[in-house]
Amino acid sequence: MELRADRTYLVETYGCQMNVHDSERISGLLDEAGFIPVIPGEQADIVVFNTCAVRENADNKLYGNLSFLAPVKKANPGMQIAVGGCLAQKDQDLILKKAPYVDVVFGTHNVGSLPVLLERARIEEESQIEILESLEHFPSTLPARRHSAFSAWVSVSVGCNNTCTFCIVPTLRGIEKDRDSADILREVRTLVDSGVIEITLLGQNVNAYGVDFGDRQAFAKLIRECGTVDGLERVRFMSPHPRDFTDDVIEAMAQTPNAMPHLHMPLQSGSNKVLQEMRRSYRTDRYLGIIQRVRSAIPTAHITTDIIVGFPGESEVDFQDTLDLCTQARFSAAYTYQYSKRPGTPAASMPDQVSPEVVGERYTRLHAHQEKISHSVNLESVGASVQVLVTEHEGRRDVERARMSGRTEDFRLAHFTFDEQNLARPGDVVTVEITDAAPHFLSGNGGSIRRTRGGDAHQARTREREPLLLGMPTQRV
Protein backbone atom coordinates (compact mmCIF):
# COMPACT_ATOMS: atom_id res chain seq x y z
CA MET A 1 0.00 0.00 0.00
CA GLU A 2 1.38 3.37 -1.03
CA LEU A 3 1.62 5.84 1.84
CA ARG A 4 1.51 9.62 1.73
CA ALA A 5 4.91 11.22 2.13
CA ASP A 6 3.49 13.82 4.51
CA ARG A 7 1.83 11.49 7.00
CA THR A 8 0.24 13.37 9.91
CA TYR A 9 0.06 12.56 13.60
CA LEU A 10 -1.97 13.41 16.70
CA VAL A 11 -0.89 12.77 20.30
CA GLU A 12 -3.67 12.52 22.91
CA THR A 13 -2.50 12.84 26.51
CA TYR A 14 -4.20 11.63 29.69
CA GLY A 15 -2.84 12.09 33.19
CA CYS A 16 -0.18 14.03 35.02
CA GLN A 17 2.48 16.55 34.06
CA MET A 18 4.97 13.71 33.53
CA ASN A 19 2.68 12.40 30.79
CA VAL A 20 2.50 15.88 29.25
CA HIS A 21 6.31 15.98 29.30
CA ASP A 22 6.49 12.53 27.66
CA SER A 23 3.98 13.60 25.00
CA GLU A 24 6.21 16.49 24.02
CA ARG A 25 8.96 13.91 23.50
CA ILE A 26 6.66 11.64 21.50
CA SER A 27 5.77 14.57 19.23
CA GLY A 28 9.45 15.45 18.85
CA LEU A 29 10.30 11.87 17.86
CA LEU A 30 7.53 11.83 15.25
CA ASP A 31 8.74 15.19 13.90
CA GLU A 32 12.25 13.77 13.61
CA ALA A 33 10.89 10.70 11.81
CA GLY A 34 9.39 12.96 9.14
CA PHE A 35 5.76 13.11 10.19
CA ILE A 36 3.87 16.39 10.67
CA PRO A 37 1.23 17.46 13.21
CA VAL A 38 -2.30 17.06 11.92
CA ILE A 39 -4.28 20.16 11.06
CA PRO A 40 -6.91 20.65 13.81
CA GLY A 41 -10.20 19.04 12.81
CA GLU A 42 -8.68 16.58 10.34
CA GLN A 43 -8.15 12.85 10.84
CA ALA A 44 -4.52 11.98 11.56
CA ASP A 45 -2.67 9.13 9.85
CA ILE A 46 -1.05 8.20 13.18
CA VAL A 47 -2.89 8.55 16.50
CA VAL A 48 -0.90 8.06 19.71
CA PHE A 49 -2.61 7.76 23.09
CA ASN A 50 -0.27 8.53 26.00
CA THR A 51 -2.17 7.07 28.92
CA CYS A 52 -2.60 7.29 32.68
CA ALA A 53 -3.35 4.41 35.04
CA VAL A 54 -4.00 6.37 38.24
CA ARG A 55 -7.73 6.97 37.78
CA GLU A 56 -10.42 4.75 36.32
CA ASN A 57 -11.88 7.41 34.04
CA ALA A 58 -8.59 7.45 32.10
CA ASP A 59 -9.10 3.74 31.27
CA ASN A 60 -12.67 4.40 30.18
CA LYS A 61 -11.65 7.36 28.07
CA LEU A 62 -8.94 5.37 26.27
CA TYR A 63 -11.13 2.39 25.40
CA GLY A 64 -13.96 4.69 24.38
CA ASN A 65 -11.69 6.56 21.98
CA LEU A 66 -10.25 3.31 20.62
CA SER A 67 -13.78 2.08 19.88
CA PHE A 68 -14.50 5.35 18.09
CA LEU A 69 -11.44 4.85 15.88
CA ALA A 70 -12.25 1.23 14.98
CA PRO A 71 -14.41 2.06 11.92
CA VAL A 72 -11.96 4.79 10.87
CA LYS A 73 -9.13 2.26 10.94
CA LYS A 74 -11.22 -0.30 9.02
CA ALA A 75 -11.93 2.22 6.27
CA ASN A 76 -8.26 3.28 6.15
CA PRO A 77 -5.98 0.32 6.93
CA GLY A 78 -2.90 2.50 6.42
CA MET A 79 -3.80 4.50 9.51
CA GLN A 80 -1.85 3.54 12.64
CA ILE A 81 -2.84 3.62 16.31
CA ALA A 82 -0.34 3.45 19.18
CA VAL A 83 -0.97 3.24 22.92
CA GLY A 84 1.77 4.16 25.39
CA GLY A 85 2.20 5.40 28.93
CA CYS A 86 1.23 3.96 32.30
CA LEU A 87 -1.88 2.07 31.20
CA ALA A 88 0.11 0.41 28.41
CA GLN A 89 2.80 -0.54 30.91
CA LYS A 90 0.12 -2.07 33.17
CA ASP A 91 -2.29 -3.72 30.73
CA GLN A 92 0.06 -4.74 27.89
CA ASP A 93 -1.70 -7.70 26.18
CA LEU A 94 -5.13 -6.65 27.47
CA ILE A 95 -5.13 -3.61 25.17
CA LEU A 96 -4.81 -5.81 22.08
CA LYS A 97 -7.49 -8.17 23.39
CA LYS A 98 -9.92 -5.26 23.71
CA ALA A 99 -8.73 -3.46 20.56
CA PRO A 100 -6.87 -5.89 18.25
CA TYR A 101 -6.58 -3.21 15.58
CA VAL A 102 -4.05 -1.22 17.68
CA ASP A 103 -0.70 -1.26 15.87
CA VAL A 104 1.75 -0.48 18.69
CA VAL A 105 1.75 -0.84 22.47
CA PHE A 106 4.78 0.69 24.22
CA GLY A 107 5.59 1.39 27.85
CA THR A 108 6.84 4.21 30.02
CA HIS A 109 10.47 3.10 29.76
CA ASN A 110 10.85 3.02 25.97
CA VAL A 111 9.18 6.13 24.56
CA GLY A 112 12.13 6.45 22.16
CA SER A 113 11.20 3.18 20.42
CA LEU A 114 7.91 4.45 19.02
CA PRO A 115 9.02 5.41 15.45
CA VAL A 116 10.78 2.05 14.98
CA LEU A 117 7.77 0.14 16.31
CA LEU A 118 5.41 2.02 13.99
CA GLU A 119 7.60 1.20 10.99
CA ARG A 120 7.94 -2.45 12.04
CA ALA A 121 4.15 -2.73 12.44
CA ARG A 122 3.67 -1.25 8.97
CA ILE A 123 6.17 -3.56 7.26
CA GLU A 124 5.19 -6.75 9.08
CA GLU A 125 1.46 -5.88 9.10
CA GLU A 126 1.32 -7.11 12.67
CA SER A 127 0.79 -5.42 16.04
CA GLN A 128 3.94 -4.68 18.01
CA ILE A 129 4.22 -4.81 21.80
CA GLU A 130 7.37 -3.62 23.51
CA ILE A 131 7.28 -3.08 27.27
CA LEU A 132 10.64 -2.65 28.99
CA GLU A 133 11.01 -3.04 32.74
CA SER A 134 13.76 -0.46 33.09
CA LEU A 135 14.43 2.94 31.56
CA GLU A 136 15.84 2.93 28.03
CA HIS A 137 16.51 6.66 27.63
CA PHE A 138 15.99 9.47 30.11
CA PRO A 139 13.04 11.31 28.48
CA SER A 140 14.82 14.65 28.42
CA THR A 141 17.52 13.25 26.10
CA LEU A 142 14.91 12.76 23.35
CA PRO A 143 13.81 15.43 20.86
CA ALA A 144 10.70 17.41 21.77
CA ARG A 145 7.92 19.45 20.25
CA ARG A 146 7.07 21.71 23.16
CA HIS A 147 3.56 23.02 23.63
CA SER A 148 4.81 26.49 24.52
CA ALA A 149 7.64 28.59 23.09
CA PHE A 150 8.18 30.46 26.36
CA SER A 151 7.33 27.96 29.13
CA ALA A 152 8.79 24.46 29.50
CA TRP A 153 8.89 21.37 31.71
CA VAL A 154 12.32 20.11 32.74
CA SER A 155 12.39 16.61 34.21
CA VAL A 156 14.83 16.18 37.11
CA SER A 157 13.93 12.55 37.88
CA VAL A 158 11.70 9.68 36.86
CA GLY A 159 10.09 7.01 39.00
CA CYS A 160 9.17 7.03 42.68
CA ASN A 161 10.40 5.24 45.82
CA ASN A 162 7.19 5.77 47.81
CA THR A 163 4.64 3.03 48.45
CA CYS A 164 1.33 4.91 48.73
CA THR A 165 -1.40 2.28 48.93
CA PHE A 166 -3.66 4.00 46.37
CA CYS A 167 -0.98 4.53 43.71
CA ILE A 168 0.33 2.21 41.03
CA VAL A 169 2.83 4.69 39.55
CA PRO A 170 5.98 3.25 41.24
CA THR A 171 5.16 -0.14 39.71
CA LEU A 172 4.77 1.38 36.25
CA ARG A 173 7.55 3.97 36.21
CA GLY A 174 10.01 2.18 38.46
CA ILE A 175 12.21 3.37 41.29
CA GLU A 176 13.48 6.93 41.31
CA LYS A 177 16.30 7.77 38.94
CA ASP A 178 17.87 11.23 39.12
CA ARG A 179 19.50 13.19 36.33
CA ASP A 180 22.89 14.74 36.81
CA SER A 181 22.46 18.38 37.84
CA ALA A 182 24.88 19.54 35.13
CA ASP A 183 22.67 17.84 32.53
CA ILE A 184 19.55 19.51 33.95
CA LEU A 185 21.14 22.95 33.95
CA ARG A 186 22.46 22.41 30.43
CA GLU A 187 18.89 21.74 29.27
CA VAL A 188 17.61 24.80 31.18
CA ARG A 189 20.21 27.06 29.54
CA THR A 190 19.46 25.63 26.10
CA LEU A 191 15.76 26.31 26.61
CA VAL A 192 16.44 29.87 27.78
CA ASP A 193 18.64 30.45 24.73
CA SER A 194 15.67 29.44 22.57
CA GLY A 195 13.33 31.98 24.23
CA VAL A 196 11.93 30.11 27.23
CA ILE A 197 11.51 32.40 30.25
CA GLU A 198 9.63 30.02 32.59
CA ILE A 199 10.58 26.48 33.53
CA THR A 200 8.93 23.95 35.84
CA LEU A 201 11.20 21.36 37.44
CA LEU A 202 9.31 18.10 37.22
CA GLY A 203 9.49 14.82 39.12
CA GLN A 204 7.14 12.20 40.48
CA ASN A 205 8.52 13.22 43.89
CA VAL A 206 10.53 16.23 42.84
CA ASN A 207 12.00 17.27 46.19
CA ALA A 208 13.46 13.81 46.77
CA TYR A 209 15.90 14.69 43.98
CA GLY A 210 19.40 13.62 45.02
CA VAL A 211 18.44 10.25 46.48
CA ASP A 212 20.45 8.50 43.75
CA PHE A 213 23.68 10.21 44.74
CA GLY A 214 23.06 10.70 48.44
CA ASP A 215 22.72 14.48 48.61
CA ARG A 216 19.67 15.56 50.62
CA GLN A 217 20.26 19.20 49.71
CA ALA A 218 20.51 18.56 45.98
CA PHE A 219 17.07 19.97 45.15
CA ALA A 220 17.62 23.21 47.07
CA LYS A 221 20.97 23.58 45.30
CA LEU A 222 19.25 23.04 41.95
CA ILE A 223 16.73 25.81 42.64
CA ARG A 224 19.57 28.18 43.52
CA GLU A 225 21.50 27.20 40.38
CA CYS A 226 18.43 28.01 38.28
CA GLY A 227 18.53 31.45 39.86
CA THR A 228 21.90 32.09 38.20
CA VAL A 229 20.64 31.44 34.65
CA ASP A 230 20.55 34.78 32.87
CA GLY A 231 17.20 35.35 31.11
CA LEU A 232 15.24 32.79 33.16
CA GLU A 233 12.44 34.79 34.79
CA ARG A 234 10.27 32.17 36.50
CA VAL A 235 11.17 28.86 38.17
CA ARG A 236 8.53 26.47 39.51
CA PHE A 237 8.49 22.84 40.61
CA MET A 238 6.02 20.03 41.15
CA SER A 239 5.08 17.89 42.88
CA PRO A 240 6.90 17.70 46.22
CA HIS A 241 6.15 15.13 48.91
CA PRO A 242 5.68 16.51 52.46
CA ARG A 243 7.86 13.71 53.85
CA ASP A 244 10.92 15.00 51.97
CA PHE A 245 10.21 18.73 52.24
CA THR A 246 13.12 20.37 54.06
CA ASP A 247 13.81 23.87 55.28
CA ASP A 248 16.72 24.33 52.86
CA VAL A 249 14.17 24.19 50.01
CA ILE A 250 12.12 26.92 51.69
CA GLU A 251 15.26 29.04 52.07
CA ALA A 252 16.16 28.48 48.43
CA MET A 253 12.65 29.53 47.34
CA ALA A 254 12.81 32.66 49.49
CA GLN A 255 16.33 33.68 48.48
CA THR A 256 16.25 32.90 44.73
CA PRO A 257 14.75 35.89 42.88
CA ASN A 258 13.22 33.92 40.01
CA ALA A 259 11.75 31.15 42.24
CA MET A 260 8.01 31.80 42.17
CA PRO A 261 5.94 32.22 45.38
CA HIS A 262 3.80 29.16 44.77
CA LEU A 263 3.87 25.70 46.34
CA HIS A 264 1.79 22.81 45.06
CA MET A 265 2.04 20.13 47.75
CA PRO A 266 -0.38 17.17 47.75
CA LEU A 267 -2.22 16.63 51.03
CA GLN A 268 -4.45 13.69 49.97
CA SER A 269 -6.35 13.67 53.31
CA GLY A 270 -6.75 15.80 56.40
CA SER A 271 -7.21 12.72 58.59
CA ASN A 272 -4.15 11.22 60.25
CA LYS A 273 -5.87 7.83 60.32
CA VAL A 274 -6.45 7.94 56.57
CA LEU A 275 -2.92 9.22 55.90
CA GLN A 276 -1.59 6.22 57.80
CA GLU A 277 -3.76 3.84 55.76
CA MET A 278 -2.57 5.60 52.60
CA ARG A 279 1.02 5.04 53.79
CA ARG A 280 1.79 8.73 53.27
CA SER A 281 4.53 8.82 55.97
CA TYR A 282 3.60 12.28 57.36
CA ARG A 283 0.81 13.63 59.52
CA THR A 284 -1.23 16.81 59.40
CA ASP A 285 0.91 18.67 61.93
CA ARG A 286 3.97 18.23 59.70
CA TYR A 287 2.01 19.31 56.63
CA LEU A 288 0.66 22.45 58.30
CA GLY A 289 4.11 23.19 59.73
CA ILE A 290 5.60 23.26 56.23
CA ILE A 291 2.90 25.65 55.05
CA GLN A 292 3.48 27.90 58.04
CA ARG A 293 7.24 28.04 57.42
CA VAL A 294 6.75 28.73 53.71
CA ARG A 295 4.39 31.61 54.42
CA SER A 296 6.69 32.98 57.10
CA ALA A 297 9.66 33.01 54.71
CA ILE A 298 7.59 34.06 51.65
CA PRO A 299 4.57 36.14 52.78
CA THR A 300 3.19 36.34 49.22
CA ALA A 301 3.22 32.55 48.71
CA HIS A 302 0.08 30.74 47.64
CA ILE A 303 -0.47 27.05 48.34
CA THR A 304 -2.36 24.54 46.19
CA THR A 305 -2.90 20.85 46.83
CA ASP A 306 -4.38 17.50 45.80
CA ILE A 307 -7.03 15.70 47.88
CA ILE A 308 -8.58 12.24 47.51
CA VAL A 309 -12.14 11.77 48.79
CA GLY A 310 -13.58 8.42 49.85
CA PHE A 311 -10.45 6.39 50.52
CA PRO A 312 -11.33 2.96 52.00
CA GLY A 313 -12.33 3.28 55.64
CA GLU A 314 -12.79 7.07 55.51
CA SER A 315 -15.46 7.93 58.07
CA GLU A 316 -17.52 11.10 58.31
CA VAL A 317 -15.17 12.22 61.10
CA ASP A 318 -12.17 11.66 58.83
CA PHE A 319 -13.82 13.63 56.08
CA GLN A 320 -14.62 16.47 58.48
CA ASP A 321 -10.92 16.54 59.40
CA THR A 322 -10.16 17.19 55.72
CA LEU A 323 -12.70 20.03 55.58
CA ASP A 324 -11.22 21.53 58.76
CA LEU A 325 -7.67 21.34 57.44
CA CYS A 326 -8.72 23.09 54.21
CA THR A 327 -10.19 25.87 56.34
CA GLN A 328 -6.98 26.15 58.32
CA ALA A 329 -4.60 25.92 55.36
CA ARG A 330 -6.52 28.35 53.14
CA PHE A 331 -5.45 26.77 49.87
CA SER A 332 -5.74 28.94 46.78
CA ALA A 333 -6.98 25.83 44.99
CA ALA A 334 -7.41 22.14 45.68
CA TYR A 335 -7.52 19.54 42.93
CA THR A 336 -9.98 17.03 44.34
CA TYR A 337 -10.48 13.45 43.18
CA GLN A 338 -12.95 10.72 44.00
CA TYR A 339 -11.13 7.58 45.08
CA SER A 340 -11.31 4.83 42.47
CA LYS A 341 -10.17 1.28 43.04
CA ARG A 342 -7.06 0.54 40.98
CA PRO A 343 -6.18 -3.13 40.44
CA GLY A 344 -2.73 -3.96 41.75
CA THR A 345 -2.77 -1.46 44.60
CA PRO A 346 -3.07 -2.44 48.29
CA ALA A 347 -6.03 -0.10 48.73
CA ALA A 348 -8.06 -2.03 46.15
CA SER A 349 -8.35 -5.01 48.52
CA MET A 350 -8.85 -3.04 51.74
CA PRO A 351 -12.06 -3.59 53.72
CA ASP A 352 -14.62 -0.84 54.27
CA GLN A 353 -14.68 0.47 50.70
CA VAL A 354 -16.80 3.63 50.72
CA SER A 355 -19.93 3.46 48.56
CA PRO A 356 -19.94 5.53 45.34
CA GLU A 357 -22.95 7.48 46.61
CA VAL A 358 -21.12 8.56 49.79
CA VAL A 359 -17.94 9.33 47.85
CA GLY A 360 -19.89 11.51 45.41
CA GLU A 361 -21.71 13.37 48.18
CA ARG A 362 -18.46 14.08 50.05
CA TYR A 363 -16.75 15.18 46.86
CA THR A 364 -19.55 17.68 46.22
CA ARG A 365 -19.29 19.02 49.78
CA LEU A 366 -15.51 19.36 49.64
CA HIS A 367 -15.69 21.10 46.29
CA ALA A 368 -18.23 23.64 47.59
CA HIS A 369 -16.22 24.16 50.79
CA GLN A 370 -12.98 24.80 48.92
CA GLU A 371 -14.73 27.07 46.40
CA LYS A 372 -15.66 29.41 49.26
CA ILE A 373 -12.10 29.37 50.60
CA SER A 374 -10.57 29.98 47.15
CA HIS A 375 -12.97 32.85 46.53
CA SER A 376 -12.10 34.41 49.88
CA VAL A 377 -8.36 34.07 49.18
CA ASN A 378 -8.70 35.62 45.73
CA LEU A 379 -10.83 38.54 46.96
CA GLU A 380 -7.87 39.60 49.12
CA SER A 381 -6.06 40.57 45.89
CA VAL A 382 -8.70 43.05 44.71
CA GLY A 383 -7.00 46.43 44.39
CA ALA A 384 -3.52 44.92 44.00
CA SER A 385 -1.28 45.07 40.94
CA VAL A 386 0.10 41.73 39.81
CA GLN A 387 2.54 40.59 37.12
CA VAL A 388 0.84 38.26 34.63
CA LEU A 389 2.65 36.08 32.10
CA VAL A 390 0.27 35.99 29.14
CA THR A 391 -0.62 32.45 28.08
CA GLU A 392 -1.11 30.96 24.65
CA HIS A 393 -4.88 31.39 24.88
CA GLU A 394 -6.08 34.91 24.22
CA GLY A 395 -9.67 34.25 25.22
CA ARG A 396 -12.80 35.82 23.83
CA ARG A 397 -13.07 39.34 22.43
CA ASP A 398 -15.91 41.79 22.57
CA VAL A 399 -16.42 44.78 20.32
CA GLU A 400 -14.25 47.38 22.02
CA ARG A 401 -11.83 45.51 24.27
CA ALA A 402 -9.81 42.31 24.07
CA ARG A 403 -9.84 39.79 26.91
CA MET A 404 -6.58 37.98 27.57
CA SER A 405 -5.44 35.47 30.17
CA GLY A 406 -2.28 34.49 31.96
CA ARG A 407 -0.67 33.28 35.17
CA THR A 408 0.38 35.42 38.10
CA GLU A 409 3.70 34.79 39.83
CA ASP A 410 1.82 32.77 42.46
CA PHE A 411 0.23 30.67 39.67
CA ARG A 412 -3.30 32.01 39.82
CA LEU A 413 -5.19 32.43 36.57
CA ALA A 414 -5.93 36.06 35.70
CA HIS A 415 -8.22 37.41 32.98
CA PHE A 416 -7.78 41.02 31.96
CA THR A 417 -8.91 43.45 29.28
CA PHE A 418 -7.02 45.69 26.88
CA ASP A 419 -7.87 48.22 24.24
CA GLU A 420 -7.77 46.54 20.83
CA GLN A 421 -4.80 48.72 19.85
CA ASN A 422 -2.79 47.73 22.90
CA LEU A 423 -2.46 43.93 22.85
CA ALA A 424 0.25 41.90 24.54
CA ARG A 425 1.61 38.74 22.97
CA PRO A 426 1.62 35.33 24.66
CA GLY A 427 4.93 35.22 26.51
CA ASP A 428 4.89 38.92 27.41
CA VAL A 429 4.40 40.13 30.99
CA VAL A 430 1.58 42.54 31.80
CA THR A 431 0.95 44.57 34.95
CA VAL A 432 -2.70 43.96 35.82
CA GLU A 433 -4.79 45.86 38.35
CA ILE A 434 -7.15 43.36 39.97
CA THR A 435 -10.72 44.62 40.13
CA ASP A 436 -12.67 41.43 40.90
CA ALA A 437 -12.20 37.78 41.81
CA ALA A 438 -13.93 34.42 41.48
CA PRO A 439 -13.01 31.08 43.05
CA HIS A 440 -10.87 30.02 40.08
CA PHE A 441 -9.49 33.27 38.67
CA LEU A 442 -8.75 36.95 39.14
CA SER A 443 -10.12 39.70 36.89
CA GLY A 444 -8.65 43.08 36.11
CA ASN A 445 -7.45 45.74 33.70
CA GLY A 446 -4.24 45.40 31.74
CA GLY A 447 -1.69 48.17 32.18
CA SER A 448 1.92 48.33 31.12
CA ILE A 449 3.32 45.62 28.85
CA ARG A 450 6.86 44.29 29.12
CA ARG A 451 7.76 42.63 25.85
CA THR A 452 9.96 39.63 26.55
CA ARG A 453 12.16 37.15 24.75
CA GLY A 454 9.37 34.67 25.44
CA GLY A 455 6.93 36.83 23.49
CA ASP A 456 9.45 37.06 20.66
CA ALA A 457 9.81 33.26 20.63
CA HIS A 458 6.03 32.76 20.54
CA GLN A 459 5.65 35.26 17.71
CA ALA A 460 8.40 33.54 15.71
CA ARG A 461 6.84 30.10 16.25
CA THR A 462 3.42 31.39 15.20
CA ARG A 463 4.86 32.68 11.94
CA GLU A 464 6.58 29.33 11.30
CA ARG A 465 3.33 27.43 11.82
CA GLU A 466 1.07 29.70 9.78
CA PRO A 467 1.47 27.65 6.56
CA LEU A 468 0.56 24.44 8.43
CA LEU A 469 -2.51 25.99 10.04
CA LEU A 470 -3.62 27.21 6.62
CA GLY A 471 -3.23 23.71 5.19
CA MET A 472 -0.23 24.68 3.04
CA PRO A 473 2.92 22.57 2.67
CA THR A 474 5.73 23.35 5.10
CA GLN A 475 9.45 23.07 4.63
CA ARG A 476 11.31 20.87 7.10
CA VAL A 477 14.99 21.56 7.48
Q: Do domains 8-136 and 385-463 have the same CATH topology?
A: no
What is the CATH number assigned to the segment(s) 146-260?
3.30.750.210
pTM, 2 dp: 0.84
Q: Work out the pLDDT band at 341, boundaries 50, 70, 90.
A: confident
> Does residue 394 carry a pLDDT above 70?
no
Q: What is the DSSP letter of 79?
A: -
DSSP line for 361-428: HHHHHHHHHHHHHHHHHHHTTTT-EEEEEE-S----B-SSEEEEEEEETT--EEEEEEETTSPPPTT-
pLDDT at 167: 86
Tell me the average pLDDT across 203-231: 94
pLDDT at 344: 81
Rounded distance between C-alpha atoms, residue 289 and residue 303, angstroms: 13
Q: Work out the pLDDT band at 132, boundaries 50, 70, 90.
A: confident
Architecture of domain 385-463: Beta Barrel (2.40)
Architecture of domain 8-136: 3-Layer(aba) Sandwich (3.40)
> Does residue 468 carry a pLDDT above 60?
no
Instruction: Tell me the residue type at 228.
Output: T
The terminus-to-terminus CA distance of the chain in angstroms comes to 27
Rounded distance between C-alpha atoms, residue 126 and residue 120, angstroms: 8
Nearest one of 435, 394, 387, 395 to 412, comparing CA atoms = 387
> Does residue 134 carry a pLDDT above 70?
no
Domain boundaries, the chain: 8-136, 146-260, 385-463
Q: Is 352 helix (H, G, I), strand (E, B) or coil?
A: coil
Tell me the average pLDDT across 401-430: 88
> Does residue 46 carry a pLDDT above 50?
yes
pLDDT at 472: 40
Facing residues of 157 across strands?
A: 178
> Of all helices (H) and strands (E), which one includes residue 442?
strand 442-450
pLDDT-wise least confident of 39-43, 275-279, 300-304, 367-371: 39-43
% of the chain residues with pLDDT over 70: 91
Q: Work out the pLDDT band at 88, boundaries 50, 70, 90.
A: confident
Tell me the average pLDDT across 186-195: 96
% of the chain residues with pLDDT over 90: 70
Position with higher pLDDT, 15 vs 96: 96
> Does residue 1 carry a pLDDT above 80?
no
Backbone angles phi, psi at 316, to 5 degrees: -65, -35
